[in-house]
Structure 1
Amino acid sequence: MTTTTPPTRTGTRRRRWGASLALLGVGLVAACGLQPATAYTPESAPGLIEEIPDLPEGASITVTGKNFTEQLILGKMVVIALQAAGFTVTDLTNVPGSVPVRELMLSGEADVTIEYTGTAWLTYLGQEEGIPDQQEQWEAVRDADAENGLTWLPPAPLNNTYAFAVRAEAVEELGGISTLSDITELPVEDRTFCVEAEFNSRADGLGPMLETYGIPRGASDGVPDDNIRIFDTGAVYTATDRGTCNFGEVFTTDGRIDSLDLVVLEDDLGYFPAYNGAAVVSTETLETYPQLEEILTMLSDELTDERMRELNLRVDEGGEMPADVAFDFMLELGLVTEP
């Protein structure tokens, strides 16, 4: 098993990242006359997540995360949890892109993030194929990243991977379909797919998936090319809901699955790689504050696909702030309390 070599931890790298992030914050303030969105976090008090006893006064920790809805919510959950535990938290969530977040973790500029096992395995560690088994994928990433000074805590049930969904009212019309294998039993004219351009052409996309399930792509007795429609990401969900196709490519934690009443089909042959979310902590930081494992595991244990879809939808369609959605979720579970 090969791993990438972590960047050199130099003062120059630290200064460059610190300056870049500081300028980003200044730019946001100057442009809007307001604080950056990431600066806002509701005040909270300990609940099931208790304040760490004998924590040194002013103990600080830095949290980072990416800038799409799910990551903004998850990042704020971690910020809230660690504040309730007594830390002074520096909030570096809302970073544009996966690679910059990875660099912050490797360089020591950040201590904690929520990352996806499949992303780390394929993008950061350079492996060619993902591992569908969720536990095996997490163990492989955990072992590989230990060499990079990062510790992967136990994964959440949340698995933000690819899937195919069908509109609920068509399930019975299609013979009570529930798995991808069931597609093989359908007439050719019912094997219609809506997908993104990238998924349509990528090496681990639609073609290999159909091959795995024994459905020849392009063949008159499989999935003819005319049965495949290409859309932008958001339009795939709408087209599937409208019946433009029977099967739409989705992400398993996307809130539109619920709002459009789509039914996710089981990947019963385990084609799609696992993308479980898990807390990743600087090993050095974890050795200093071993209580972090219990705190972050307590949070991740509550994160499922279904709950994440609800939370994402509140931001994407409800217009709520990720920090408020994160706080409400943790308050409801008793992980934190109101001050």
Structure 2
Amino acid sequence: MPIIGRHSIGRAARVRLLVGLAALGLAVTACGGGGGGGAGSGSLGAYHLDNASFKVGSKEFTESLVLGQITIQALQATGAKVDDKTGIQGTTNVRKALTGGDIDMYWDYTGTGWTTLLGHTPAQAPKDPTALFQAVATEDLQKNQVKWLNPAPLNDTYAIATAASRAQQLNVHSLSDYARLANTSPAQASMCVASEFLSRDDGWPGVQKAYGFALPGNLLKTIDMGVIYTQIPSGQQCNFGEVTSSDGRVAANNLQVLDDDKHFFVLYNGALTMRNDTFTKYPQLAQIFGPISQKLTDAVVRDLNKQVDVDGALPEQVAKKFLQDNRFIS
């Protein structure tokens, strides 16, 4: 969360295969400056980066793949040459790729920056999204020479969910309710999580500490993130599971997200990050991606994820439609 990402890699791997098979049929190329509508099309045509070349990365889960493709196609629309390096597995690996020069930029989250990248505890995190972003952006620039562009409204935070019908049956609607269930009827509180959630301070260890429970190890199942969404409704492996708040499969599987009534989980506003030398050379990147970022609300990103994970579209196709619908490209 090597480290597996916060989201599904099984689905992502299949998506990457489909991308390869469908590449010839897509208008957008994975490499080069000619795809994504081309320079001069849409509002991004006002920017001219014809001599620029970028390597765009992403993590391996659906949302990150879509954000990566949005970034690729936006840059291509300015005339830039873009090398597609999306689909890197895990936070640690993609950050090493950035700082090591293998990629120039990728989307990350303020909560990940605060905890995983900068080593702070969730309890120390500012609760105000602007304050958290400013703290992360300032420290990461000073310590690591990584520039964070202004964040999106998107808050893709961790969450715990169960089937909506089961929430009613067990009267579990908040994490405090879940803690009570785990302490009194642990067999009914069985939980599915992805591996990274087990090792993060803002993951399972912190949840148990903050809410005062300890689920027996045999009731905690570690499975692929993408499988969790389908396992929760059946209850075969677990009655509850780790999800993320912007995932389209929450609604598609009729899941209810439990209220984080003690505000444990850190905010996860998405933002495009890049090495500061890249930003210094091309400061117009802030103007290019500012309007795009502002369109990425929870509801919008949840729908983008749904188009891939539920409807079966490719991340490239979803990204292109998003940019076209918002008149960034034609």
TM-score for the superposition, normalised by structure 1: 0.73
User: Which residue is 2:229 aligned to?
Assistant: 237
Equivalent position amino acid for 1:230 in 2: K
Distance 1:316 1:229 in 2: 25
Equivalent residue number for residue 47 of structure 1? 42
Matches within 5 A, 1:25-40: 38-39=30-31
Letter in 2 for 1:95: I
1:123 matched to 2:119? The reply is no
| 1:31-110 matches, cutoff 5 A | 38-39=30-31, 42-44=36-38, 46-52=41-47, 55=48, 57-110=50-103
Structure 1 residue 203: Cα displacement: 6.3
Q: How has the CA–CA distance of structure 1 residues 184 and 201 changed in structure 2, closer, same or farther, with 3 Å as cutoff?
A: closer
Residue by residue, what CA displacement relative to the aligned partner does 1:196-232 show, whole Å, maximum 9, x if unpaired?
2747854634454244234x336xxxxxx49934251
| Matched residue, 1:137 | 132
The Cα shift of 1:185 comes to 7.0
Alignment-derived partner of residue 194 in structure 1 = 191
Query: Is the CA contact 1:200–1:206 (under 8 Å) kept in the aligned structure 2?
Result: yes
How many percent identity over aligned positions? 35
The answer (yes or no) to whether the contact 1:42–1:324 under 8 Å persists in 2 is no
Identify unmatched segments of 5+ residues in structure 2. 1-16
CA RMSD in angstroms comes to 3.5
Tell me if the contact between 1:66 and 1:98 (Cα under 8 Å) persists in the aligned partners: yes
Matched, 1:212 2:196: no
- Looking at structure 1, the residues matched to 194 and 141 of structure 2 have their Cα atoms a distance apart, in angstroms, of 36
DSSP-derived class of the 2:46 partner: coil
Matched, 1:281 2:274: yes
**Cα distance change, pair 293–162 in 1 and its aligned pair in 2 (3 A):** same
In 2: Cα distance, 1:185 partner to 1:95 partner:
38
Q: Which amino acid aligns with 1:159?
A: N
Which among 252, 256, 261 is matched to residue 259 of structure 1? Answer: 252
Question: C-alpha distance in 2, partners of 1:162/1:66?
Answer: 16
TM-fit CA distance, 1:66: 2.7
Letter in 1 for 2:231: A
Change (3 A) 1:57 1:132: closer
* Aligned-pair CA distance for 1:260: 0.4
Distance 1:132 1:263 in 2: 26
Which residue does 2:4 correspond to in 1?
none
AA at the equivalent of 1:260: N
The equivalent of 1:297 in structure 2 is 290
Q: 1:104 to 1:298 in 2, by over 3 A?
A: same
Residue identity in the other structure for 1:274: L
Distance in 2, matches of 1:47 and 1:92, equals 25
Letter of the structure 1 residue corresponding to residue 232 of structure 2: T
Change (3 A) 1:193 1:333: farther
**8 Å contact 1:112–1:280 — kept in the other structure?**
yes
Q: 1:324 aligns with which of 298, 310, 317?
A: 317
TM-score by length of 2: 0.74
Q: 1:8: which partner in 2?
A: none
Deviation, 1:50, is 4.1
Q: Aligned to 2:316, what secondary structure does the other structure show?
A: helix
Matched with 1:149 is 145
Paired residue total:
297
Change (3 A) 1:142 1:59: same
Partner of 1:64: helix, strand, or coil?
strand
Look up the match of 1:165. 161
